[in-house]
């Protein structure tokens, strides 16, 4: 099995190797890349399994994964970088930047939505997949950002603005397309396509050369797989258009080839691809105070609980910053990760987290949905990391 790893923590390597070997051997995960940095040093790095199982191509360090919602913190960082430069404020009303985006409540009133509410997911927007039948967004033709919709970002947001808000801004927390709207604000303020703005503000300064909205080298993009339709079977290869049911809500609509389509609109909530080393560089920048991308204040805002008065439907004991979910109470969350740690994942099977108190950053990318996001693999990796470092 292809592997590259080094570690001054032999127990960490032993435990993580066992977790990865089991997940790949049982075909719960087809391919994976796992990196662990402790006190600024990469102490574990492994690429294992298959980038393309049917073609017999193993995962190698250069392979690119679909980041899905791990895009959100990167685009949030781009927006916050503009806040640091004075081009935006967190309280800038969306309609001042995007005049066409003025969604209403069910009673017809038109509340003001701010950049802060978009990034914190308190805007009143939602996602189609959060309802069992994908309504009301499906009937309005709103894309969640992962399908082959064939429309522009502006058109998608116009459709989104035509659907009544789910709740009044700031009255609740609800995971949403807010970061897609924030991405359109970044485009409007900079006068650049979102891909160019994110490259200039975030990925370029951090040397994230393989992180973008389009995989420029399709041969390095891992194939997409999904959990089996029936227990006991291996993960299945995704079709050109596919659906995977969420543990809650409805199905997520996938079009894996979207990652190589330069005409697909840049979804600020779901659209990027990247490598594990690239994403680790981003996590480490946030963990160490934001430079050279963010001010210390913005690095703190993206990674600390911004909604302490709200129930965050990620799980009990969880909060949310302006880009990452935050462990609000470790005991309530039932997490191996301590209070104050933060991270996020994506529906193609990706995950990452930071424990700022332990100076720890971890990236665990897979090409298998949803095992790499919600499955046992995630907990197994986290548990192995903490036990290995303790050992």
Residue-wise pLDDT for 248-304, tens only, equals 899 999 999 999 999 999 999 999 999 999 999 999 999 999 999 999 999 999 999
**Is 76 known to be catalytic?**
no
Average pLDDT over residues 44-64: 97
Instruction: Spell out the SS3 assignment of 354-384.
Output: EEHHHCEEEEEEECEECHHHHCHHHHHHHHH
- Domain positions in the chain: 10-70+206-231+271-390, 73-203
C-alpha distance across the termini of the chain, in Å = 25
Question: Residue 50: in which H helix or E strand, if any?
Answer: strand 41-52
Q: What is the pLDDT of residue 6?
A: 58
Q: 167 to each of 123, 170, 220, how far by Cα in Å?
A: 8, 8, 42
**Average pLDDT value for the chain:** 96
- Interatomic CA distance for residues 133 and 122, integer angstroms: 22
pLDDT of 207 higher than 60 = yes
pLDDT of 5 higher than 80 = no
Q: For the domain with range 73-203, which CATH number is right: 3.40.710.10, 3.30.420.40, 2.60.15.10, 1.20.140.10?
A: 3.40.710.10
Q: What is the pLDDT of residue 195?
A: 98
DSSP 86: T
Q: What is the pLDDT of residue 196?
A: 98
Label residue 232 by pLDDT band (50, 70, 90).
confident
What global pTM score does this model have? 0.97
Q: What is the pLDDT of residue 111?
A: 98
Question: Helix, strand or coil for residue 151?
Answer: coil
Q: What is the pLDDT of residue 231?
A: 80
As a whole-number percent, the residues of the chain with pLDDT over 70 amount to 98
Point out which residues pair with 243 in neighbouring strands: 253
Q: Tally Cβ neighbours within 10 Å of residue 41.
A: 10
- Interatomic CA distance for residues 318 and 30, integer angstroms: 29
Q: Tally Cβ neighbours within 10 Å of residue 99.
A: 9
The side-by-side arrangement of strands in the sheet containing 368-369 is: 236-237, 225-226, 368-369
pLDDT of 60 higher than 50 = yes
Strands 225-226 and 368-369: parallel
Q: What is the pLDDT of residue 1?
A: 42
Tokens of 55: 């073609």
* 73-203 and 10-70+206-231+271-390 share a CATH fold: yes
Q: 337 to each of 11, 23, 264, 343, how far by Cα in Å?
A: 18, 21, 36, 10
Average pLDDT over residues 66-89: 98
Q: Measured over all CA atoms, what is the biggest interatomic distance in the chain, rounded to whole angstroms? A: 61
Do you know the residue count of the chain? 391
Catalytic residue chosen out of the listed positions 69, 143, 303, 335: 69
Under 8 Å between Cβ of 42 and 67? no
pLDDT of 80 higher than 80 = yes
Q: What is the pLDDT of residue 261?
A: 97
Domain 10-70+206-231+271-390 falls in which CATH fold?
Beta-lactamase (3.40.710)
Under 8 Å between Cβ of 268 and 194? yes
Give 320-367 pLDDT, tens digit per residue. Answer: 999 999 999 999 999 999 999 999 999 999 999 999 999 999 999 999
Point out which residues pair with 48 in neighbouring strands: 32
Q: What is the pLDDT of residue 229?
A: 82
- Interatomic CA distance for residues 130 and 35, integer angstroms: 31
Label residue 185 by pLDDT band (50, 70, 90).
very high
pLDDT of 109 higher than 90 = yes
Under 8 Å between Cβ of 123 and 104? no
Label residue 4 by pLDDT band (50, 70, 90).
low
- Interatomic CA distance for residues 226 and 234, integer angstroms: 9
């Amino acid at each position: 099995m292809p592997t590259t790893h080094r570690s001054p923590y032999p127990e960490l390597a032993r435990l993580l190797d066992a977790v990865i070997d089991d997940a790949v051997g049982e075909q719960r995960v087809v391919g994976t890349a796992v990196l662990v940095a402790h006190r600024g040093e990469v102490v574990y790095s492994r690429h294992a399994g298959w980038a393309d199982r049917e073609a017999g191509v193993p995962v190698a360090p250069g392979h690119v994964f679909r980041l899905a919602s791990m895009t959100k913190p990167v685009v949030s960082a781009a927006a916050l970088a503009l806040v640091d430069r004075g081009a935006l404020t967190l309280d800038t009303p969306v309609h001042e930047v995007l005049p066409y985006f003025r969604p209403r409540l069910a009673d017809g009133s038109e509340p003001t939505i701010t950049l802060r509410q978009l990034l914190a997911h308190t805007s009143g927007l939602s996602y189609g997949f959060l309802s069992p039948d994908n309504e009301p967004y499906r009937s309005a033709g709103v894309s969640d950002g992962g399908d082959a919709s064939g429309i522009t970002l502006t058109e998608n947001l116009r459709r989104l603005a035509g659907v009544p808000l789910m709740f009044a801004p700031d009255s609740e927390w609800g995971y949403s397309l807010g970061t897609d709207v924030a991405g359109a604000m970044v485009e409007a303020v900079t006068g650049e396509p979102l891909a160019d703005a994110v490259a200039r503000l975030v990925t370029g300064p951090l040397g994230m050369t393989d992180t973008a909205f389009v995989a420029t080298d399709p041969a390095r993009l891992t194939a997409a797989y999904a959990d089996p339709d029936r227990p006991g079977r291996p993960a299945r290869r995704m079709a050109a258009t596919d659906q995977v049911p969420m543990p809650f809500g409805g199905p997520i609509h996938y079009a894996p080839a979207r990652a190589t389509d330069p005409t697909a609109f840049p979804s600020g909530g779901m659209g990027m691809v990247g490598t594990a080393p690239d994403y680790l560089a981003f996590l480490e920048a946030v963990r160490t105070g934001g430079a050279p991308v963010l001010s210390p204040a913005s690095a703190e805002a993206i990674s600390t609980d911004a909604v302490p008065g709200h129930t965050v439907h990620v799980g009990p004991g969880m909060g949310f910053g302006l880009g990452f979910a935050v462990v609000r109470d470790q005991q309530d969350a039932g997490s191996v990760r301590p209070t104050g740690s933060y991270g996020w994942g994506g529906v193609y099977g990706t995950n990452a987290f930071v424990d700022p108190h332990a100076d720890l950053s971890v990236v665990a990318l897979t090409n298998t949905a949803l095992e790499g996001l919600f499955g046992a693999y995630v907990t197994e990796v986290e548990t192995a990391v903490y036990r290995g470092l303790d050992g």
